[in-house]
Chains A and B, each alone.
Chain A
Amino acid sequence: MNFIFNKLLQLIPTFLGITLISFFVMHLAPGEPTGLEADFNPKMTPEVRQKLREQYGLDNPIHIQYLKWMKGLITLDLGKSFSSDKRPVWDKIKETLPITLLLNIISLLLIILISAPLGIYSAVNKDGPFDKGVTFSVFFFYAAPTFWVALILMLIFGVYLKWLPISGLHSLMGYQNMNIFEKILDWTRHLIIPISVSVIGGLAGISRYMRSSMLDVLNQDYVMTARAKGLPENKVIFKHALRNALLPLITILGLSIPGLIGGSVIFESIFAIPGIGQLMWMSVLARDYPVLMGNLVIVAILTLIGNLLADIGYALADPRIRKGYKN
């Protein structure tokens, strides 16, 4: 408990640092939010432009702007979007975040479920035909551009075979009249291609890590000891080797949590999925600072939670770390 509390305390300055740096870096980019409404619009008078800047608080020096934003954050108010709908930032994030999280958590789980066994099997049968085949195919899909794989799958399953819908989250027509099971089925059908694309592209990383950490462990003395004392191969691999080989995976999983929202920009626009990746991308283009900062806060929190979970996971899995802390 003490361990977790201490870790949490350490997160606070890190979090403040992240917001501070992002806020200033963001303002370094040329262009201003008023620009997109005002630039090149002959009907926009200089007075209106000035008015807009004042409304957005852009006439204040940047450190004042940051402090104001910080004050909002402390009261859990992320401010209002600069875009012409002027909606609260939190509303926009609330709408899009769950979709992205859902998608990415499902794909992350699938990636682990598929790639861990692949990695283990490859390691055990190192340099065999299976290992080589897996290596080739995971790297092939890792190297293939996401949009290309996506379009090919859409073309095959959506256009020619007509088995699956191409884009969107649910059917355009008749969705309201479906019962809950039909709705779930409808969502599932829509998510098959997007999730497959993300899983296919993500297999390489984890299966490779798994393979190499398993190989490492298999070469350790204690594995040799286990074999020498005549344990069946199954027990050697699953009881002695696997547990130790899983340790590095914890770190990687912790690190991939922020990627849950960051990595989905291209992906969401190809599949027309109204997720947070798209929201973030548009707010970058529009220099919509409040929405951008709101997103950064979410990403920062996720990153920190990811690190924390990795630390905790490590402590749970590895008694050495637990004990080391107590001493």
Chain B
Amino acid sequence: MRFKNYRIFFLIIAILSVFFIDIIDISVFAENNKNYGDTIILGSIGDASNLMPMLSSDATSHEISGLLINGLVKYDKNLNLVGDLAKSWEISPDGLTITFHLKKGVLWEDGKEFTAEDVIFGFKTITDPKIPTAYAGDFMMVKDISAPDKYTVVVNYKEPFAPALGSWGNIVVLPKHLLEGKDITASPLARKPISLGPYKFKEWKTQEKIVLEANPAYFDERPYLDNYIMRIIPDSATMFLELKTGNLDWMGLSPLQYSRQTKNKFFNDNFNKYQYLAFSYTYMGYNLKSPFFNDKKVRQALNYAINKEEIVNGVLLGYGIPAHGPYKPDSPFYNRNLPKSVYDLEKAKALLKEAGWADTNKDGILDKNNIKFSFTILTNQGNDLRLKTAQIIQHRLKQIGIEAKIRTVEWAAFIKDFINKRRFEAIILGWTMGIEPDIYDIWHSSRADGVGLNFIGYKNTEIDKLLEEGRKTFDIEKRKQIYFKIQEILLDDQPYTFLYFPMALPIIHKRFKGIEPAPSGITHNFEKWYVPKNEQKYIAP
């Protein structure tokens, strides 16, 4: 999980789902309609950085490398793990060993066969301390790895580790025959990658465009769209004008563009709009060491005092839903039986009173032991949605006698001087979530020290135990029960006030058919998108 700006959350969804492209062809469309050909042009705000997945941590790079390199496993459109380069796998009863059986006849673009050696080489590289990768953590639990034959990979873990299976995506697949004995951080593959997936690399002009074309050697069905071009347009207003001129086929819209600026004949005639819950949420986190927020009752009171519906309507123009916990409602791990906290000022006031806060000096602001209830909400600069959220919260808190000030700080300084040093009272930030439900790094007490991500300092032994158990449990039903329980505790404890899940709002040209929105987004079946012959726009790029 990582923080991301709202502006690019659409891209994150795209990667998450591009990673895990569906293999089951749902033939709802008559076969004779499906034609090969045409090009899709999409706009991206940021350029890619490095097309070797293990070396990059930005959304654009992963979006592109997701089309070039497949993983051993992937998530299907309903977020279940299915095989990709691995046709099947077994987990030993003690949960310590995973055996992957790889597909045969999968070729790299240059004709070399993909084998277990490539996976082992990838694993050795990612766990090499000299390699600056952000993903080594997942593989630290591995005791050893071996390849009994060309098509089998056996991984032994030190202890059962349920998130392990999902970690064998495309991050860990490298072409051994091109990289062995070389410094991979200086490899030309970073800018000119070799493909194993549905598309192959054609051209990358820095800050301008990245061009991919269908890979004829792809082991699975050839994608219908011949070319994929990503244009880098750093300004979202310009990007929108390019869309309006018909030069772009696909971009992520802001709520304002979605609800107002695309409601006219031109867009109705030429584009389809989609919406689905993004894999992220925004929250207000409290420094639990602060004298204001170390009392659970105060945090509960704030949860009642903040009107989440109002924030969704005001900030996202209704394109989102209020959040009550860390999982989005279409996730299998979302606890449906959780009572939903509602906006209730009276309840909030009563709880604050119980906690000992009262306006004794009649200045309109609550106080206790001569301390005014006045704190600062900190958020990062440049994120307009978070700033607006803070302003709405400020207004509501004033009604129950709490003074909230707002301050924004540039990102790098925000992390270094405030988050890592724990110098804040309350912050508004967001988490991008994976499909894997493990949230150990955010809530476990061991992550509260140093620069760990549990920067609010939340320590709850029950949660700790559940998080550890959740990591060791492979059985999906048992896992669900564990994470349901975690959600109950978080709801009661309110270490964060969960605010909202925003929606991803992509718009795509009408000539592209076969797009199926699902919990994983829209790109899970990207290879199956096609344009009927008579509607094809670009013959050659």
Contacts and interface: CB of A to CB of B under 8 A. Distances in A.
Interface of A: 29-32, 35-48, 51-52, 55, 83-87, 92, 95-96, 147, 151, 154-155, 158-159, 162, 165-169, 172-174, 269-272, 274, 278-279, 285, 287
Contact of A86 (B1, B186, B237): B186
B232 A40 contact: no
Q: Which 7 residue pairs across A and B have the least CB separation, nearest first? A: A31-B412, A42-B441, A274-B207, A43-B137, A30-B413, A269-B234, A272-B233
Given A155-B241, A269-B235, A272-B234, A37 B57 contact: yes
8 contacts: A31-B416, A39-B420, A40-B3, A42-B442, A42-B447, A86-B186, A169-B208, A172-B229
A283 B447 CA distance: 30
Contacts of B55: 84
Contacts of B442: 42
Contacts of B441: 42
Most B CB within 10 A of own CB, among A35, A84, A151: A84
B206 interface: yes
Interface of B: 1-3, 39, 41, 49-50, 55-58, 61, 129-130, 132-138, 140, 185-186, 190-191, 205-209, 229, 231-235, 237-238, 241-242, 244-245, 247, 411-413, 415-417, 419-420, 440-442, 447, 450-451, 453, 538, 540-541
Given A40-B453, A45-B137, A83-B49, A35 B412 contact: yes
Given A167-B238, A272-B231, A43 B136 contact: yes
B209 A51 contact: no
B416 A86 contact: no
A51 B132 contact: yes
Contacts of A172: 41, 209, 229, 231, 247, 541
Nearest to B242: A166
Contacts of A48: 129, 132-134, 136
Most A CB within 10 A of own CB, among B49, B191, B440, B441: B49
A214 B328 CA distance: 69
Contacts of A42: 1-2, 137, 440-442, 447, 453
A31 B415 contact: yes
A165 B231 CA distance: 14
B416 A30 contact: yes
Contacts of B41: 172
A147 B525 CA distance: 38
B132 A166 contact: no
A85 B190 contact: yes
Contacts, number: 150
Nearest to A45: B137
A30 B419 CA distance: 12
A84 B234 contact: no
Contacts of B447: 42
A48 B128 CA distance: 10
B137 A44 contact: yes
B238 A37 contact: no
Contacts of A35: 412, 415-416
Nearest to B1: A42
B242 to A, nearest CB: 6
A243 B441 CA distance: 72
A35 B440 CA distance: 21
B134 A151 contact: no
Given A42-B441, A43-B137, A158-B245, A30 B190 contact: no
Given A35-B412, A39-B451, A42-B447, 15 more contacts: A39-B415, A40-B3, A43-B136, A43-B138, A84-B56, A84-B57, A85-B191, A158-B245, A166-B247, A168-B231, A172-B229, A173-B39, A270-B238, A274-B205, A278-B234
Nearest to B45: A269
A274 B232 CA distance: 9
Most B CB within 10 A of own CB, among A44, A96, A155, A169: A44
Contacts of A279: 207
A177 to B, nearest CB: 8
Most B CB within 10 A of own CB, among A42, A165, A169: A42
Contacts of A174: 540-541
Contacts of B207: 96, 272, 274, 278-279
A274 to B, nearest CB: 3
Nearest to B129: A51
Given A40-B415, A48-B133, A274-B207, A154 B238 contact: yes
Contact of A43 (B135, B190, B541): B135
A151 B241 contact: yes
Given A166-B241, A166-B242, A272 B412 contact: no
A55 B132 CA distance: 9
Contacts of A52: 132
Contact of B244 (A159, A173, A278): A159
B411 A285 contact: yes
A95 B206 contact: yes
B129 to A, nearest CB: 6
Contacts of B49: 83-85
A158 B240 CA distance: 12
Nearest to B51: A85
B288 to A, nearest CB: 19
B134 A86 contact: no
A162 B246 CA distance: 11
B538 A173 contact: yes
B416 A38 contact: no
A32 B416 contact: yes
